[in-house]
Structure 1
Amino acid sequence: MTETFTLAHFSDVHLPPAFGSGWRHWNAKRALGYVNWIRKRRRVHQGVIANMLLADAVALRVDHIAITGDLINLGLPSEYEAAHRWLKGIGPPENVTIVPGNHDIYSSLHGDLGVARWAEYMGGENETLAFPFVRRAGPVALVGLNSAVPTPPFVASGRLGAHQLEIAGEQLAKLGEEDTVRVVLIHHPPLPGLAPPRRALSDAAHFAHLLQRGDAELVLYGHNHVSRVDWVQSRSKSIPVVGVASASAGITHREEPLGCYNLFTFFKSETGLRIRHVVRGIDEASGEIKKISESVLTPSLP
């Protein structure tokens, strides 16, 4: 790696429900989800906030944008189509990468394409998808995982599965033979204890074990709607695992802050890779976008 590279990380946009899909896709989970949207989520998640933050990232001339899931709410065909149009407004697929969240793979689709409509933003072509995927963006290799599975009402957990974990391990090890920065994208918090069981990644311990091999430089996730940095210790280095708040939060909710996003700049120094981490978001007092925090994340020796 010889050049600097800047990656913007967004998550949990929760675009407003788009209707027109017909009744055959509705069930108890979607009905309850819609009630939740009307009673709570529509006041919190405001598309104008997400668009403001994305415009800020574009104005800063970031090299790539990553979105770690929950673009929509109820998993309806009309929502996938609306979100696809929204993605096209952000930029072409070569500049934007996404992975699905639990609201994107929400419940039974009765044969509908679902998130396959977004295949071009997930390393696929012509509505074909395979997870995990690898996308190259300058000196960065983005490894996209799918932790989203359909769940019953009141459950928002996720799972990777043995096959996906095995392939991801092979991909990350192979990428480690190259001069590339390996960034893993996943929706659910990828370490044990970061979410309660009904919202957690069921095989988080297995994923943490994979990271302990040292085959990544950075892991990004969403789902919890809070910003957080944890570290995984491997035999060769410490790996930062970074969560981000919802990109569309227009009001604070419990411990969840106003909308924000992560900004990572990768550069090599005499001591190795350094990652400048800036959180930018809505200032509660002024309503303007400002820098919330700044730090340097260095995948370091133990």
Structure 2
Amino acid sequence: MTETFTLVHLSDAHLGPIAGFRLGNLNIKRAFGFLNWQRHRRFVHVPSVAERLAADALAHAPDHIAVTGDLANLGLPGEFVTGLGWLKSLGEPHRVSVVPGNHDIYTGQLGGPSCLETWAPYMRGSESWTETSPVHFPYERTVGQVALIGLNSSIPTPPGVAGGRVGPMQLAALARSLERLGEAGYIRVVLIHHPPLPGQATARRALEDAAALADVLARHGAELVLHGHNHKQSLAWLKRGDGGGIPVLGVASASAAFGYKAEPPARYHLLRIRRADGEVFINCEVRGLDGEGHVARIARDDLVMPSP
């Protein structure tokens, strides 16, 4: 593969306003979440900002768009309808892939279709592309020589907890997928909402089985891992068993109208991926709101594993 594959990475849009909040949806976790939204987050996460970033991303004519979760805020069925509209604005299901975030699977008390049902067309693998096939994780989507592997790390949690878990069944299936796709020569890109490595999030926000996931990735290999959740830009490196490195790239919120606490204004990744002479090269351009409120390039770098 000598041609360049352009991949957009968006996350944590937290689309408002909160829609479809009924008495039957109310529980303690949603009550606290709604108060936090009303007092703080609704001023930070502005739908028009997410729309502006999406328009900028589409102007670069990407080959595919990856969304790593948290389109919703309180996990309400009405929010999933809003999220579906935003996904449709990004492109048809075969051009856009999404994995759920902890705010999408916020609580087991739904009162309507889940995000896995509403967003199903954007989470079906290439080999199960029918309107009625159920969603299962990890899913595999192949686009040219790139294979996107979507994991679900989100589970209902108690109030004050935003952690996640992949689980042994997904981990075993991921190992098989990575091996098979690697042997077939695909450039493997893993999508997950929670940061996948130990120590990348505080205890209440962390992936419970991050160590097990890191072990699978290190043993079976991948070329890139994309995540959200922390609302920050981050780049970590996971050492593979063969001595190479896997870049683990986190992105900030796609809808933040301004910096909030340690979180920057809205950002997204414009990734250019190519294979030459048997090696994979990835260039990452960070685009988002600059100091004047325009969507512009913030940074651009090649993802190269640092020397020991």
Match of 1:239? 246
- 1:112 is displaced (CA, Å) by 3.2
- 1:3 is displaced (CA, Å) by 2.2
Measure, in 2, the Cα distance between the counterparts of 1:133 and 1:186. Answer: 11
- 1:299 is displaced (CA, Å) by 6.5
Asked if 1 retains the 8 angstrom alpha-carbon contact of 2:270 and 2:286, the reply is yes
Specify the code of the residue in structure 2 equivalent to 1:206: A
Match of 1:120? 121
Q: Which of the residues 172, 175, 180 maps onto 2:178? A: 172
Q: Deviations over 1:74-102 (max 9, x none)?
A: 11111111211221122100111000000
Measure, in 2, the Cα distance between the counterparts of 1:238 and 1:300. Answer: 9
Task: Check if 1:275 corresponds to 2:276.
Answer: no
SS of match in other structure, 2:183: coil
Task: Check if 1:189 corresponds to 2:189.
Answer: no
Specify the code of the residue in structure 2 equivalent to 1:140: V
Say which is worse superposed, 22-31 or 186-195, in terms of deviation: 22-31
Q: Which of the residues 149, 153, 157 maps onto 2:159? A: 153
Measure, in 2, the Cα distance between the counterparts of 1:205 and 1:199. Answer: 15
Measure, in 2, the Cα distance between the counterparts of 1:84 and 1:104. Answer: 12
- 1:178 is displaced (CA, Å) by 1.2
Specify the code of the residue in structure 1 equivalent to 2:271: F
Measure, in 1, the Cα distance between the counterparts of 2:68 and 2:20. Answer: 26
Measure, in 2, the Cα distance between the counterparts of 1:35 and 1:146. Answer: 27
Judged with a 3 Å threshold, the aligned counterparts in structure 2 of structure 1 residues 21 and 128 are, in CA distance, closer, same or farther, namely: farther
Q: Deviations over 1:135-170 (max 9, x none)?
A: 112221000000000001110000000111010111
Task: Check if 1:259 corresponds to 2:266.
Answer: yes
Q: TM-score, normalising length from structure 1? A: 0.95
Asked if 2 retains the 8 angstrom alpha-carbon contact of 1:190 and 1:208, the reply is yes
Pairs aligned (count): 301
SS of match in other structure, 2:119: helix
Q: Which of the residues 143, 146, 149 maps onto 1:140? A: 146
Asked if 1 retains the 8 angstrom alpha-carbon contact of 2:12 and 2:231, the reply is yes
Specify the code of the residue in structure 2 equivalent to 1:188: H
Where in structure 1 are there 5+ consecutive unaligned residues? none
Question: Aligned ranges for residues 17-32 of structure 1 at < 5 Å?
Answer: 17-20=17-20, 22-32=22-32
Task: Check if 1:107 corresponds to 2:103.
Answer: no
Say which is worse superposed, 14-23 or 32-41, in terms of deviation: 14-23
Specify the code of the residue in structure 1 equivalent to 2:265: L
Q: Deviations over 1:97-149 (max 9, x none)?
A: 00000000000235632112101001164372101100112221000000000
Measure, in 1, the Cα distance between the counterparts of 2:230 and 2:110. Answer: 29
Asked if 2 retains the 8 angstrom alpha-carbon contact of 1:146 and 1:160, the reply is yes
Match of 1:93? 93
Match of 1:10? 10
Asked if 2 retains the 8 angstrom alpha-carbon contact of 1:273 and 1:298, the reply is no
Match of 1:229? 235
Match of 1:52? 52
Specify the code of the residue in structure 1 equivalent to 2:67: I
- 1:271 is displaced (CA, Å) by 6.3
SS of match in other structure, 1:94: helix
- 1:17 is displaced (CA, Å) by 3.8
Judged with a 3 Å threshold, the aligned counterparts in structure 2 of structure 1 residues 82 and 200 are, in CA distance, closer, same or farther, namely: same
SS of match in other structure, 1:166: helix
Say which is worse superposed, 115-124 or 268-277, in terms of deviation: 268-277
- 1:193 is displaced (CA, Å) by 0.4
Q: Which of the residues 288, 292, 302 maps onto 2:294? A: 288
Measure, in 1, the Cα distance between the counterparts of 2:65 and 2:134. Answer: 21
Judged with a 3 Å threshold, the aligned counterparts in structure 2 of structure 1 residues 118 and 127 are, in CA distance, closer, same or farther, namely: farther
Q: TM-score, normalising length from structure 2? A: 0.94
Asked if 1 retains the 8 angstrom alpha-carbon contact of 2:228 and 2:251, the reply is yes
Asked if 2 retains the 8 angstrom alpha-carbon contact of 1:238 and 1:300, the reply is no
Specify the code of the residue in structure 2 equivalent to 1:277: C
Q: Deviations over 1:266-289 (max 9, x none)?
A: 1123461100111011002x2111
Where in structure 2 are there 5+ consecutive unaligned residues? 126-130
Measure, in 2, the Cα distance between the counterparts of 1:47 and 1:110. Answer: 23
Asked if 2 retains the 8 angstrom alpha-carbon contact of 1:43 and 1:251, the reply is no
